[in-house]
Each structure stands twice: as structure tokens, then as C-alpha cells.
Structure 1
Amino acid sequence: MRIGFDAKRAFNNRTGLGNYSRFVLNALCQFAPQHTYLAYTPQVKKGLFDEFPTKDLRLPDFNNKLYGTWWRSYGIKKMLLNDNVQLFHGLSNELPNGLAQSGIKSVVTIHDLIFLRYPDLYPAIDRFFYRRKFKKACEEADVIVAVSEQTKRDIVNFYGTAPEKIRVVYQNCHEAFHEPKIFQALEPWKVSETCQKYTIHKPYVLSVGTIEARKNQLCLVKAFHEAQLEDADLVLIGGKTKYQQEIEAYISKHRLSDTVKILNGVPFADLPALYQSARVFAYPSFFEGFGIPIVEALHSGVPVVAATGSCLEEAGGTGGLYIEPNDVNTLAQTLRTIWNDEPLRKTLISEGKKHIKQFDAEKIAKELTEIYASLLK
């Protein structure tokens, strides 16, 4: 099979859609190498995906941002035909125009429809384009890949798509999280150079994700304050938004600056050590498309407490405990339980390791190639 991919995110985005795109392409190249995979991108940032074979990389004729945007939606079709591409997979919620008329089968991955559930979190111009692109892709694709059962339900509910057109195919996190190394010590934060770098000198609850209202970190700070965990820190890692000011105001008012740390701009290379040294991972987000930070925590051997209401129970399975995202008291109680109950911690860690086997790259490569083959019969 000759498969083309919308690889803009793989070569230009460090997180989120970029991680997913790189994961899919790496999984297919490693576990289904008998097929040809061509990556189409309007530009390439060095250092993001240098391992991808350059012979299978396709760029537009002109290195111009405006032209690249047009090419990705319209001009790419000519190149796909010249490359004898049989099927095109849009890895980030959209497809180029005119695939069906050209005889090229199509698959699109839809990650979430959060912009429809929480429109106030998105600028009006973004909502306008997302509505057009996502709906059009769902209508025109031969098969839709949803990254969770939650996303599948949303596609059916918001767009009226036939459920049988949608296949749920999960994803895994970066392999850097897969093998905890020196952090098997009883007090890993003491032996981790990365923890020393960020002045973390106590056992800690970790939460990773953009510091924004949807991620609900203020609720976590309040619950941590109420839980009164013995000799513990709370470490929040993520990009900064205005919402962080609310959290900082609460920290200041309640004199928590010695125990609650907010770390912005943490490089990816430091994240595995920070996960693996944590005692508990907390993710009380109101809504997610999948919840990769939870998978990262489970790979790192860390028990999870997360929120109900979206897909986080799919991501964490029996490796976590789940609470209603607005319930500060129950979150505080759950933090205390996981923090203090060592047999429970060990059970959650063990169950989490079992749960994440369904996210193995080999399994996911098999599921995707079966979808492609079914369309090319």
C-alpha cells in the first residue's frame, strides 16, 4: 500500500497533535514496514522528527508560508497523484480538498470536539475554521479514526455521523516514559538530578498540562491544601495562561508558596524524570479528547487520580481513581488515600501497567493498517 499523511504537525509541533503524528508514523514504519508511507508537510523544523526517512518526505515547490497553507488544502492533490498515493490519512482533524474525485481513499483522525463543548475557551476565528474543517473532514472521509470512545460519541452527537463509520484507535505516549530507570528508590526525588534542578526536595503530587481553566488546576490546589498531606509538595507543570493568575492568587492568600510550585517552560527532556519521581499524578481536567499525561504517568509507574466526565477513565483504566471534577472535598480525600495507602498504591501501579498494554505501538499499527487495507480491497 502507498499511504500519504498530513504530516504538518509531525514536523512543526512539539506537543499534542505533533506527538500523535510522530507516534503514528513511527509505529507504522517500525511494525508495518512492507508499505510505503509518504509524509506531506508545508515546512520542516529541524530537531522535531529528523529520524523520518528524507526520501519519503514531501514539501511544496515554494518555501512560502501563505503558499504552504494553500498547498496543504488544494495543491497537494497533484503531488499525491504523481506519487501514486492510494490512501491519504489526515492526522490532525482535517483533509485536503478533492480526494474522492481523484480516486484517493481517505481517513481522518479526530482528536476531540472540545471547541464545540466549550466554545468560550477558543477565539471566534479559531471556532469558525474548526467548525468548517472538522465537519467537512468527517463528512468526506471514508473512515474516521477517533482517539477515544468519548470522541466517537461526540462525533456522533454533534455531527450525526453513523457510528459504523468511526473506528476507535488509541495512541501511546513517547517512548521516553516507557522505562523508568533510576527512580526505583524509596525516595526518588532525593536521587533525581532533575528534581534538584527544580528545587524539589520532598515527595510530591504532580500535574502536567497547560495551566488553563479546562485543566482545572485551581481545584487541585484547593484539594491539596485541604488534604494536608504530610511533608508533601504539589508540582504543576505547563504553559502559562491568564488562568495561572487565579492559582497564584490562591497560593498567595493561603500562604502555600513553600509547598505549591508552578513550573512553566519545562523542556520535554526533563519530563520523564519528573513523572518517575512523583508519588501521585493528578489530572482533574473537565474534558479531554484522550489524556496522554495519564498514559505517561502509568508508564512511569505512578498511580493516578483523575476526573470523570470525559475520556480519562479510558486512558487510566484500573491504574487510577476517579472523582467528579468540581468536588474539591472528594479529590482531597482521594489524594490522602493514594498518598498514605501503600498496598493500594502498589495495586494501582500494577493495574496501570496492565492497562497500558492496549496502547502498544505494534497493536495500533496493526489496527491502522487493517483500516487502510479494508478501504483498498
Structure 2
Amino acid sequence: MMKVAFNARLLSSPTLRGWNRYTINLLTELSSLGIELFLYSDQPLHETHLAKLPKDSYQVRIAPSMRYIYWEQNWLPKQCEKDRVDILHCPMNFGLPWSSPCPRILTLHDAIDQVYYSQDIPWYQQLSLDHMQTKIYHWVARTRAEHIITVSNYSKLDISRFLHIPEDKITVIYEAADASFHKQVTQEQRLLIRSKYCLNRPYIFYVGGWDKRKNIPFLVKAFAEANLDGVDLVLAGGKDEQRNLLMQLGESLEILEHLHLLGWVDDADLPALYTEALCFVYPSEYEGFGLQLCEAMAVGCPVLAARATCLPEVLGGGGETFALDDYSDLTKLLIQVWTDIKFRENLSDRAQLKSQFYLWSNNAVATQNVYLSLKSSF
């Protein structure tokens, strides 16, 4: 039986964000393939994450209290040797030791820090100790990994181009929606979700961050320009401090009564929120994968996505794309979704068909193949 250790320290946080979703889903499917799993951390892992994993499918190893750098560079490789693991896999862009008794795999989800965010960091912050340490941690992980997994061909090209990693060292393995999004949403669940969030009219939906690259003002302005009678725009996610700016924008565009800012929503509510929506819109300027596309497609929600970075690749024929140089593309699509029921139904059918391409079972098998190839050549 193959033994695989994971740097699982991010599972100490109860939040089920992108990297943790990836880790939990991958671990669940790998366990069904008969792989013996070891979860390594310098902090206790949160019980809500562990409860999602099949019972007795993993062993947890928590290090004694120590500095992070010592844990990563000393404790991790020693524990790998002690457990005699075949592979050490870090699923979160950084967190691999310089040396290791077994092959190291890094899941590098994107090159967004180098491509998108680096220009926004002031020079004095780039020279700070914390920033320099972070850069070193990331550099060590990606240069010392024997192989890198990423989540789209677009990310692979960016990683190769901006981080100077040979393409033959990188394997693309697509992510997928949680299994809950493939289950039928009942009429009762639909009614409950509308009541819970006071959604009394048809609505356009978005869920995710509200930071700059997510490009939410673009969506708000396109929605205002579409002027859809009796339709709301529902935005889930974001942070409280970002709410006021969007409220001010909605007021200036005279659509405030049609703008619903839900903030953070329970994961269990998402399938019904997608299902009840006229469509899901993803206006992001930069993504490594765009997991929300898979979630929306899995429930059959019509999808409109920006013609930017990896989004056309991931969406494929599962929806329609729009340009980001002006609002007209998206505005026309929003009008068509609202006024043309056949178009909307066609988008829904295309979404469900495409969603079958993205399954965590496929991801796990492809990941296992990377393990086997690396183990045999190490």
C-alpha cells in the first residue's frame, strides 16, 4: 500500500476556502484508492474538516510547539522518514522542506502573486522581513519539489513563464465541485433559501471574494445598464469593509433596491442559491481555475464568465463568455438570459453536461498516477 503524507496545516482553520476544499476532496478520493494517508501539522486540525474524511482513512501527526521554519524544514522530513512515507504532498503553494527522504509534490494553484499582485505591493513592503520570508518559503517549495501539479493549462503557462519552471515538470489536473453540488435540490430547499435571504424576485448571482481582481463593480455596472425589470443582483461573499463601497456604487447607479449583499453564506446554502438564480456571473480579471464555475455547472445554473485568463478554458462549452473591455457583451447576455427562456434552458443543459467532466474521482486517479510515476523514478 502506498503511503502519502500531506502538509495539512491549513486544515487547522475551520474555514473551507479554496485550498482547503481542494485538500479535503482530494484526501477523500485518495482514501478510496487504497492509499494510506498521513496528515502533518504544527497545530491541531479542525474537527469539521476531519469529519468530512472517511473514518480510519488517515493518521494525524501533530508536532510539538516550535517555530514554523523549524517545523517545515526539520520536523516534516524527519516525520516522513519515521512513517516511511512514499510521497510528501503539499496542496497549498508553499510548505515543502529543502531536503526530504521521499519525493515531494507541490500543488501550485497559480502564479497570481507574481502576475497580478506584485505590482500593487509598495517597494518598502517588498523589503520587509515578513515579505522576504514568504518569498523564500514559496521559492523553496517550488524549486525543491520533484514535481508540480497545477489546476489549469493557463496556470501551467503562467507558472512556466513567470516562475521559470520547466513545463515537463508540471502536470495539469482539474479541480471539481464538491459532491453536494451534484445532488438534486428539492423545491422545499429552494423555498427555504429564498425565505432565509429574503429573495423575492428573480436574481442574477455571484459568490466569491469582492477584492479588486474579482471585478465586482464591472458586474454591478453591467447589471445597471441591462435595466432588467423586476430582477435583482445578489452578491455573496466579500468582507464587511467592502460592503459600503458597493452600496455607494449601487446608490449612484440607482439600483440600490435591486442589490442584495449577502456577505458570507453557509456552504450548505450554495447549491440552492445557484439553482434558484437566473444565471451565475463570474467577472474576475484573474483566476487559476475558478471553482465557482464547476459549482454552478453541477447544479445546472446558466453560467456567464469573463473572457479572461483560465475562465474560457474551464467553462468550455458549459456557458457563455464576455469581454472585459466594456459592459456591452455582458449587458446583452444578461438581457438575453432574462428575456429568452430557451436560451436560458440551453445554457442550463450545457452547464450540466460540462459538469460531468469535472469529478474529484478523476482528479484523484490522475494525482495517484503522478505519485506512482514519481515513486518509480526516485
TM-score > 0.5 by shorter chain: yes
Q: State whether residues 234 and 259 of structure 1, in contact with CA within 8 Å, keep that contact through their aligned partners in structure 2.
A: yes
Q: CA deviation at 1:281?
A: 0.3
Q: 1:246 corresponds to which residue?
A: 245
Counterpart of 1:167 in 2: which secondary structure? Answer: strand
Q: 1:144 to 1:287 in 2, by over 3 A?
A: same
Q: 2:199 corresponds to which residue?
A: 200
- 1:190-237 per-residue CA deviation (whole Å, 9 max, x = no partner) reads x52111111100110000011111111111011101101131110000
Q: State whether residues 41 and 72 of structure 1, in contact with CA within 8 Å, keep that contact through their aligned partners in structure 2.
A: no
| 1:257 matches 2:256 | yes
Q: State whether residues 12 and 45 of structure 2, in contact with CA within 8 Å, keep that contact through their aligned partners in structure 1.
A: yes
Give, in whole Å, the separation in 1 of the partners of 2:134 and 2:283.
Answer: 26
Q: 1:45 corresponds to which residue?
A: 46
Residue among 97, 108, 111 paired with 1:110: 108
Give, in whole Å, the separation in 1 of the partners of 2:185 and 2:240.
Answer: 33
Give, in whole Å, the separation in 2 of the partners of 1:127 and 1:41.
Answer: 23
Q: 1:314 to 1:373 in 2, by over 3 A?
A: same
Q: 2:338 corresponds to which residue?
A: 339
Q: 1:171 corresponds to which residue?
A: 175
Q: 2:310 corresponds to which residue?
A: 311
Give, in whole Å, the separation in 2 of the partners of 1:214 and 1:8.
Answer: 27
Q: Provide the TM-score with structure 2 as the length reference.
A: 0.90
Write out aligned runs for 1:224-235 (5 A). Answer: 224-235=223-234
Q: 2:75 corresponds to which residue?
A: 75
Q: CA deviation at 1:73?
A: 3.8
**Gaps spanning 5+ residues in structure 2: where?**
none
Q: Name whichever of 294-303 and 265-274 sits farther off.
A: 265-274
Q: 1:27 corresponds to which residue?
A: 29
Residue among 2, 17, 21 paired with 1:15: 17
- 1:246-289 per-residue CA deviation (whole Å, 9 max, x = no partner) reads 32111122332210111112222222211111111001000011
Q: State whether residues 152 and 289 of structure 2, in contact with CA within 8 Å, keep that contact through their aligned partners in structure 1.
A: yes
**Superposed CA RMSD:** 2.2
Q: CA deviation at 1:127?
A: 5.1
Q: CA deviation at 1:298?
A: 0.5
Q: State whether residues 143 and 166 of structure 1, in contact with CA within 8 Å, keep that contact through their aligned partners in structure 2.
A: yes
Q: 2:166 corresponds to which residue?
A: 162
Q: CA deviation at 1:180?
A: 2.9
- 1:125-168 per-residue CA deviation (whole Å, 9 max, x = no partner) reads 67544432333222211111011111101111012211111100
Q: CA deviation at 1:315?
A: 2.2
Give, in whole Å, the separation in 2 of the partners of 1:54 and 1:221.
Answer: 47
Residue among 143, 162, 165 paired with 1:139: 143
Give, in whole Å, the separation in 2 of the partners of 1:271 and 1:355.
Answer: 19
Q: Name whichever of 144-153 and 335-344 sits farther off.
A: 335-344
Q: 1:203 to 1:329 in 2, by over 3 A?
A: same
Counterpart of 2:137 in 1: which secondary structure? Answer: helix
Q: CA deviation at 1:99?
A: 3.5
Q: 1:220 to 1:61 in 2, by over 3 A?
A: closer
Write out aligned runs for 1:278-317 (5 A). Answer: 278-317=277-316
Q: State whether residues 146 and 152 of structure 1, in contact with CA within 8 Å, keep that contact through their aligned partners in structure 2.
A: yes
- 1:286-329 per-residue CA deviation (whole Å, 9 max, x = no partner) reads 00110011111101111111111211112222111111224212
Counterpart of 1:25 in 2: which secondary structure? Answer: helix
Q: State whether residues 111 and 147 of structure 1, in contact with CA within 8 Å, keep that contact through their aligned partners in structure 2.
A: yes
Q: State whether residues 160 and 166 of structure 2, in contact with CA within 8 Å, keep that contact through their aligned partners in structure 1.
A: yes
| Identity of matched residues, % | 28
Structure 1 letter corresponding to 2:38: L
Q: 1:223 corresponds to which residue?
A: 222
Give, in whole Å, the separation in 1 of the partners of 2:28 and 2:172.
Answer: 19
Q: State whether residues 177 and 359 of structure 2, in contact with CA within 8 Å, keep that contact through their aligned partners in structure 1.
A: no
Counterpart of 1:9 in 2: which secondary structure? Answer: helix
Give, in whole Å, the separation in 2 of the partners of 1:265 and 1:374.
Answer: 41
Structure 1 letter corresponding to 2:77: K
Aligned pairs, number: 366
**Gaps spanning 5+ residues in structure 1: where?**
none
| 1:149 matches 2:125 | no
Q: CA deviation at 1:10?
A: 3.4
Give, in whole Å, the separation in 2 of the partners of 1:309 and 1:344.
Answer: 23
Q: Provide the TM-score with structure 1 as the length reference.
A: 0.90
Q: State whether residues 211 and 241 of structure 1, in contact with CA within 8 Å, keep that contact through their aligned partners in structure 2.
A: no
Q: 1:303 to 1:121 in 2, by over 3 A?
A: farther
| 1:97 matches 2:97 | yes
Give, in whole Å, the separation in 2 of the partners of 1:199 and 1:73.
Answer: 50
Give, in whole Å, the separation in 1 of the partners of 2:57 and 2:307.
Answer: 45
Q: CA deviation at 1:358?
A: 2.2
Q: 1:164 to 1:47 in 2, by over 3 A?
A: same
Give, in whole Å, the separation in 2 of the partners of 1:71 and 1:233.
Answer: 49
Q: 2:84 corresponds to which residue?
A: 84
Q: Name whichever of 192-201 and 1-10 sits farther off.
A: 1-10
